[in-house]
DNA sequence: AATATTAGATAGTTAATCTATCCATCGTCA
DNA sequence: TGACGATGGATAGATTAACTATCTAATATT
């Protein structure tokens, strides 16, 4: 298809499509002459992915580019790839770690949960920040609640892991990376809705 | 305390503190003269909250302002307050609803789950968008998985509801609003860590 | 042949989030 | 009591992200 059709199919404005190509998020079309290029279904899907990662998962374009890059050119193994993908997801712990580079809260939590983890994994720092942020406004989470969360979350991730395709490594990696990023908004929306449901049942309509 | 101490205690730069005051996110100090104002612990906490909402929960300042406004001046009842707070959380469904203002996927999911919900509640649109985004990149979630998620999420929210203080309405609202926003990053980080733990157990080190 | 479309380049726009400076006070301490 | 540093309030500038618009020469299309 030509670019005008790609624009129509994807709903992304022409100038924006060109911008994404310039930024390396969207692969260029196959040029057939000096002023023509041919685009495929893969381009439509890629545009959907860019929009999903930015608009729904909330990633800045540059981080979406990292995630997309990992799908196109994954690291040799699943753990490294997922590790880099997770580091591209908010909250970004890039700064302000000089205070507590040992992640005391996160480590304590993970040990109580009996979980295996790599201390270098970005999610450890992310958990530390999230726990510290809650505590800093007087909303520190109780151990009991944290353990309860952990148990249910482990059940949720069992669904995730069960759904990972095992045919090829590439498929497994792509599915894991996208599943990590794209199912998070689903989980959050469901929790918000569950709050409403449960509050209505407990406290009645008001 | 004076502003210089507030700056030191909070770690927020002076110019930024003044900016937050200008924008209405931080209440001004109690002015004692033309060039002096007194700040309190409440100001420190408020700065912590602003940073938690922006840096960790990922809200733009303006949305953080809405959440803070709801805490300072809540709606008369919990549901309306939570409703407005949730609408201030990403993903923002402000645009692009002309396509499906009836939220077919979200409604189907909620009915299967047997949940009570208000169709106007922002989280319904957020769930719809999240489900559609996943589907648009070939990662549509299966019914089975969605129901499994729902069950565990309901258990998680039971912890949340149990922890809501019931002394005063204001406390309940504040706790609910902050708990919704600030515990989400904890849940996401824990899920990311659970993935690593479970993948390591299932697939071994590589 | 006339018209519409395109690639590729470049420049401009808008909004968000700070950051810096200035000045007229004011408090404080020698 | 006087000098000096800190402050409030105002205003202006900086930086980045994410587009959006325009232009040109060439190519399709009819």
Q: Do B153 and A116 make contact, defined as CB atoms within 8 angstroms?
A: no
pLDDT-derived band of residue A100, with 50, 70 and 90 as boundaries?
low
Name which of A141, A152, A196 is nearest B183 (Cβ-Cβ).
A141
Question: Is it the case that residue A206 has pLDDT exceeding 50?
Answer: no
Please list the pLDDT of chain B residue by residue as tens digits (206 residues). 999 999 999 999 999 999 999 999 999 999 999 999 999 999 999 999 999 999 999 999 999 999 999 999 999 999 999 999 999 999 997 655 555 589 999 999 999 999 999 999 999 999 999 999 999 999 999 999 999 999 999 999 999 999 999 999 999 999 999 999 999 999 999 999 999 999 999 887 54
Residue A114 DSSP label: T
HSE-CB of B119 using CA atoms within 13 angstroms: 9
Contacts of B126 in chain A (CB under 8 A): 185, 188-189, 192
Closest CA to B41 of B3, B65, B6: B6
pLDDT in tens, A135-191: 999 999 999 999 999 999 999 999 999 999 999 999 999 999 999 999 999 999 999
Signed CA dihedral, B109, B115, B116, B120: sign only: negative
Contacts of A202 in chain B (CB under 8 A): 161
Question: Is it the case that residue A120 has pLDDT exceeding 80?
Answer: yes
Closest CA to B46 of B25, B66, B30: B25
* Unique residue bearing structure tokens 């307050």: B81
* Mean pLDDT score across all residues of chain A: 95
In this prediction the pTM is 0.96
3-state secondary structure A39-78: CCHHHHHHHHHHHHHHHHCCCCHHHHHHHHHHHHCCCCCH
Instruction: Tell me which residues of chain B, numbers 51 to 110, contact chain A at a CB-CB cutoff of 8 Å.
Output: 51-52, 55-58, 77-79, 82, 86, 89-91, 106, 110
pLDDT in tens, A79-96: 999 999 999 999 997 655
pLDDT in tens, A22-35: 999 999 999 999 99
| A68 CA vs D28 C1’ separation (Å) | 33
For the segment 42-61 of chain A, residues whose CB is within 7 A of strand D = 54, 60-61
pLDDT in tens, A2-57: 999 999 999 999 999 999 999 999 999 999 999 999 999 999 999 999 999 999 99
């Amino acid at each position: 298809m030509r670019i005008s059709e790609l624009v129509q199919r994807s709903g992304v404005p022409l100038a924006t499509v060109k911008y994404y190509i310039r930024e390396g998020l969207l692969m260029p079309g196959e040029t057939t002459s000096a002023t023509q290029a041919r685009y495929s279904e893969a381009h439509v899907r890629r545009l959907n992915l860019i929009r999903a990662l930015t608009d729904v998962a909330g990633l800045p374009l540059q981080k979406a580019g990292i995630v997309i890059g990992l799908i196109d050119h994954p690291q040799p193994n699943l753990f490294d790839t997922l590790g880099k993908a997770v580091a591209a997801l908010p909250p970004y712990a890039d700064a302000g770690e000089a205070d507590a580079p040992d992640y005391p809260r996160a480590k304590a939590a993970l040990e109580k949960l009996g979980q295996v983890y790599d201390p270098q994994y970005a999610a450890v720092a992310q958990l530390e920040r999230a726990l510290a942020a809650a505590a800093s406004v007087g909303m520190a989470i109780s151990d009991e609640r944290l353990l309860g969360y952990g148990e249910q979350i482990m059940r949720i991730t069992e669904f995730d892991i069960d759904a990972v395709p095992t045919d090829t490594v590439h498929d497994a990696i792509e599915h894991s990376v996208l599943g990590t990023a794209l199912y998070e908004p689903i989980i959050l929306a469901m929790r918000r809705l569950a709050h409403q449901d449960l509050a209505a049942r407990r406290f009645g309509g008001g």
